[in-house]
Amino acid sequence: MLNGSITNRYTLGLYQVAMVQNEVSAVNEGLRMMANSIRETEGFKAFLESPVVSNEKKYDVIKKAFGDFVPQVLHTFFRVLLLRGRIAYFEAIAEHFRGLVEQAENQVTVQIESAQPLKDEAISEIANKLSSALNKRTVTRTAIKPELLAGMRVRIGHRVVDATVKGQLDRFRHDVLSNVAH
DSSP string, 92-143: HHHHHHHHHHHHHTTEEEEEEEESSPPPHHHHHHHHHHHHHHHTSEEEEEEE
Rounded to whole angstroms, the Cα distance separating 21 from 30 reads: 15
Which candidate, 26, 42, 34, 136, places its Cα nearest to that of 79? Answer: 34
pLDDT at res. 78? 92
pLDDT at res. 181? 66
CA quadruple 47, 51, 57, 60: dihedral sign: positive
pLDDT at res. 1? 45
Which candidate, 103, 109, 98, places its Cα nearest to that of 11? Answer: 98
Beta bridge partners of 140: 110
DSSP state of 69: G
CATH class given for the domain over 4-103: mainly alpha
pLDDT at res. 22? 94
How much is the pTM? 0.69
The number of CA neighbours under 13 Å toward the Cβ of 89 is 23
Q: What is the pLDDT along the chain (182 residues), one digit of tens a residue?
A: 456 888 999 999 999 999 999 999 999 999 999 999 998 999 999 999 999 999 999 999 999 989 889 899 999 999 999 999 999 999 999 999 998 998 888 888 888 998 889 899 988 998 898 888 888 888 888 888 888 888 888 888 778 888 887 877 888 888 888 877 66
Task: Kindly list the distances between the CA atom of residue 109 and the CA atoms of 61, 101, 102, 131, 150, in Å, as whole numbers in the listed order.
Answer: 30, 11, 8, 10, 22
What residues does CATH 1.10.520.20 cover in the chain? 4-103
pLDDT at res. 147? 86
